[in-house]
Amino acid sequence: MSQNLPNMLDKTIEKIREMVNSNTVVGEPIHTPDGVTIIPVSNISIGLGGGGSDFVSKNANANKENPFGGGVGAGVKVSPVAFLIVKDGSVRVMPMAVPASTTADRLVEMIPDTLDKIASFVDSRKEKKAE
């Protein structure tokens, strides 16, 4: 069997290692003028696949390798998950909200704002009646 496919996989994995390292998961700290440090935290997903085959040549010679055909593909997805906020010696985690993908999700997201608006409307009506 040809050694071309393992070599292609090794090269691809090497390139992924160059792109994705520990700084990709926990990013470089960002320092603000007012003393706050923000550290991004991400999730990484990697997909890798490859395949190949040695072809039998009609002009096969016992001393020659058969022709090889193959390929390798990879994909990397980096998604922000949260930010670590460091201020005055305390650390707070600020999670990233996942965007709503369905109508039901959007409605659920709107409930707190709607309840706040209704409560403020009711409070303003009570104040007017009290006057």
pLDDT digits (tens, 9 = 90+) for 73-98: 888 888 888 999 999 889 998 888 77
Task: Name, of 2-11, 27-36, 60-69, the range with top average pLDDT.
Answer: 27-36
Task: Name, of 35-44, 89-98, 109-118, the range with top average pLDDT.
Answer: 35-44
- The predicted-structure confidence for 42-62, as pLDDT tens digits, reads as follows 888 888 787 777 777 666 565
- Measured CA to CA, the distance from residue 129 to residue 131 in angstroms comes to 5
State whether 14 and 73 are in the same domain. Answer: yes
Confidence class for position 1, pLDDT limits 50, 70, 90 = very low
State whether 115 and 66 are in the same domain. Answer: no
State whether 40 and 67 are in the same domain. Answer: yes
Number of domains in the chain: 2
State whether 104 and 131 are in the same domain. Answer: yes
Confidence class for position 3, pLDDT limits 50, 70, 90 = low
**Cα 5–9–11 angle (5° rounding)?**
115
Indicate the Cα dihedral angle 115, 120, 122, 125, nearest 10°.
-160
State whether 38 and 78 are in the same domain. Answer: yes
- Measured CA to CA, the distance from residue 77 to residue 45 in angstroms comes to 5
Provide the edge-to-edge strand list for the sheet that holds 37-54: 30-31, 37-54, 68-87, 90-95
For residue 90, the enclosing domain spans 4-96
Asked whether the beta carbons of 19 and 76 are under 8 A apart, the reply is yes
Nearest to 73 by CA among 48, 53, 45: 48
pTM greater than 0.75: no
State whether 13 and 53 are in the same domain. Answer: yes
